[in-house]
Structure 1
Amino acid sequence: MDAFVTPDPELAATAPSDRTTLTEVIDAYRDSGFAGDFTAEPRDPGSAGPVAAGGAVSTAVVRCGRCATSSDPGGLQIHSIRRLEGASDPADMVAIVATTCPVCGSEGTLVLGFGPMSSAVDADVLGAMQDVRGDGVLPPAIAPGERGTTDRP
């Protein structure tokens, strides 16, 4: 089931809004144990990459800030994702992904652009990652500390 934030007026103060900042979301993930950092980078043109659906070679890797290993994005899992949408500037649209390094086990966040202004690297990473938001590690579509529900009325 897709998660959504309950439109209950009592929860209005805790529900995401355009005033929620990137720092607030990352801090909430850090408070829940996802304290590491990941970055999306272009794959070295000389390195062989795994073949994605349709025969395309992945153009990106995800680098772990703890062990500095570059991993194929298809080997990383999305435990939780939180989107922030730019109210007036599409370039401000980002997705904050809680993930785990498949090499060292570090848990952390990866910030990716999405939407019309996202880079090809960010789009490739987001499209290739394994969506496991129902695994119970974190709330699937809200940042830790925000109150919401995954049950639809």
Structure 2
Amino acid sequence: MRQDPADTPLVTVMDNLDASGYRSQFQARDGGLILCFTCRVEFAAARAEADLIFRLEGASDVADMVTVVPLTCPVCGAAGTLVLHSGPDASPEEAEVLSHLERSQPSEGEAALRPMVEHALDESATDALAPRHNRRSGAQA
């Protein structure tokens, strides 16, 4: 039986995304901006190439909610993760960035992404999570 995706440990999701090529990191900034730690450039969250959004809850406290967003920097092409607190613990910057990312996600196609989400939650499989630009070109992460 598969566990509830929200119950997946953050370290499992992060390890699987790292193994899939999402090795850079991003940070939410004021004004709905995201900072890429690779090129040190801020860009609008609306420009982010977000591949998926994972919502996780704390094991001991479901109010400990985080959102993990694997994305690609539109400036330098670095693939990485943006980890945001969500719910009552979210900073104003995190809440604003998350609202832009949620609006930019396609409303259809969630079912098509489900296998990728399940893959990210499976500790033994990471190949389907390759950053979008690597999947298109066939490049190895």
Rate the CA distance shift 1:89–1:30 in 2: closer, same or farther, 3 A.
same
Matched, 1:84 2:84: no
* Deviations 1:90-118 (CA, angstroms, capped at 9, x unpaired): 2x210000111000011110001111221
* Deviations 1:41-90 (CA, angstroms, capped at 9, x unpaired): 22xxxxxxxxxxxxxxxx23101111011111111032111111124252
* Deviations 1:5-36 (CA, angstroms, capped at 9, x unpaired): xxxx2x34xx5353x32222111111111111
Matches within 5 A, 1:1-150: 9=1, 11-12=2-3, 16=5, 18=7, 20-42=8-30, 59-86=31-58, 87-88=60-61, 90=63, 92-129=64-101, 130-132=104-106, 134=109, 139=115, 141-142=117-118, 144=120, 146=122
The two structures, once aligned, show a CA RMSD in angstroms of 2.7
Rate the CA distance shift 1:139–1:119 in 2: closer, same or farther, 3 A.
farther
SS at match of 2:5: coil
Aligned structure 1 segments of 4 or more residues deviating by more than 6 angstroms: 135-138
CA distance in 1 between partners of 2:19 and 2:115 (Å) = 14
SS at match of 2:68: strand
Preserved contact between residue 79 and residue 140 of structure 1 (Cα < 8 Å): no
Counterpart residue identity of residue 64, structure 1: C
Preserved contact between residue 6 and residue 55 of structure 2 (Cα < 8 Å): no
TM-score normalised over the length of structure 1: 0.65
TM-score normalised over the length of structure 2: 0.70
> What percent of counterpart residues are identical?
34
Aligned length, in residue pairs: 118
Q: Quick one: higher RCO (CA 8 Å, sep 6+), 1 or 2?
A: 1
Q: Which has the higher helix share?
A: 2
Unpaired runs of at least 5, structure 1: 1-8, 43-58, 148-153
Q: What is the aligned partner in structure 1 of residue 137 from structure 2?
A: none
Rg (Cα) greater in structure: 1
CA distance in 1 between partners of 2:5 and 2:65 (Å) = 14
Q: What is the aligned partner in structure 2 of residue 151 from structure 1?
A: none
